[in-house]
Amino acid sequence: MYIDKDRIDDFLTTTRFGREMEVHDWLPSTNDRLLSLIKTKEDISEGYLIISHEQKVGRGRQGRIWHSPSGGVYLSLLLKLNLPQDKWNSLHLIGMLAVYDTILDLYNLNPTIKWPNDLLIKGEKISGILLETRSVEGFNNFGVLGIGINANIAREEFPDEVSGTATSLLIRLGEMVDMNELIGVVLNNLEVYYNELIKNTLDVRGELEERRTIIGRRAEIMSGEEVIVGRVMGFGENGSVIIEVEGGSRREIIEGNLRLMD
């Protein structure tokens, strides 16, 4: 099932997101393509979208690889960051909310939000979000919101390194999904959350806590040189996670890698 600009358009109800887009057969990375466009395309508008059927060197957080065979959704969306800097961290969270709602509404699958940037189904990763920010002299600050969704990927198409930890919509549903609809609805949801975020009317923490998350689970977090073990109690303002450590005290962690222990 091929990704097609006009077919995506049929599903869009947005005013900005995805109204200008490029669809590529393959790219090294959609985030890299958008990051380089920011430097050269002066009139680039908010919501500019890059999509690729495959990525040769798809990137995840902290220098990890995002395996990107054909059949997945790989997209990057341009945001102009007219937001206080402490809100930037919320952007990958609204990405997760948008993908979560789409997967639930279109396919009746209930993912789990795993801090800081993954969606899991039955413990296996179905989507990941990568937000990269840049300041370009004389312009705004830009955010490139990269979203990967394992859509129509069969189990044997995942490389060995991730075959036990990744899943896809195809694996869970037993049938292919319409990737144009999937992309269109993600963008629609994302624009609604983004508009609320800039109007300051979105309670990101409340939205997260209303959904299925890792709250209550035991976890180990590597944050810089430190390893923190405890129970996830909730989320803080602007993208942090709250952990109750042994002895009952609570820690708020802004950045790190989390491993579930139960």
Q: How far is the CB of 133 from ligand BTN (least distance, A)?
A: 14
Cα–Cα separations (whole angstroms), residue 53 to 66, 88, 148, 151, 213: 14, 28, 11, 11, 29
* Measured distance CA(138)–CA(189) in Å, rounded: 31
Please say which residue, 66 or 115, places its beta carbon nearer to ligand BTN.
66
207 binds ligand BTN (CB under 6 A): no
Identify whether the C-beta of residue 91 lies closer than 8 Å to the C-beta of residue 147. no
Task: Figure out which of the listed residues 58, 116, 143, 239 binds ligand BTN, where binding follows CB under 6 A.
Answer: 58
Q: Is the dihedral of CA 192, 194, 199, 200 positive or negative?
A: positive
Mask for 97-136, x = binds ligand BTN (CB under 6 A): --------------------xx---------xxx------
Task: Figure out which of the listed residues 14, 29, 167, 240 binds ligand BTN, where binding follows CB under 6 A.
Answer: 29
Please say which residue, 221 or 231, places its beta carbon nearer to ligand BTN.
221
Identify whether the C-beta of residue 103 lies closer than 8 Å to the C-beta of residue 120. no
31 binds ligand BTN (CB under 6 A): yes
146 binds ligand BTN (CB under 6 A): yes
Residues with Cβ within 8 Å of residue 41, at least 6 apart in sequence: none
Cα–Cα separations (whole angstroms), residue 39 to 33, 71, 140: 10, 30, 12
Report residue 104 as tokens.
């639930």
Q: How far is the CB of 75 from ligand BTN (least distance, A)?
A: 6
74 binds ligand BTN (CB under 6 A): yes
Please say which residue, 8 or 231, places its beta carbon nearer to ligand BTN.
8
76 binds ligand BTN (CB under 6 A): yes
Please say which residue, 119 or 231, places its beta carbon nearer to ligand BTN.
119
Binding region for ligand BTN (CB under 6 A) out of 7-15, 55-63, 178-186, 252-260: 55-63
Helices 179-199, 90-107: crossing angle, 10 deg rounding? 140
Phi, psi angles (nearest 5°) of residue 244: -95, 120
Q: How far is the CB of 14 from ligand BTN (least distance, A)?
A: 19
Of 61, 58, 66, 62, the closest CA to residue 26 belongs to 58
Residue nearest to ligand BTN (CB): 128
Region for 47 from its dihedrals, namely left if φ exceeds 0, alpha if ψ lies in -120 to 50, beta otherwise = left
Please say which residue, 55 or 231, places its beta carbon nearer to ligand BTN.
55
Interface residues with ligand BTN (CB under 6 A)? 29-31, 55, 58-61, 64, 66, 74-76, 117-118, 128-130, 146-148
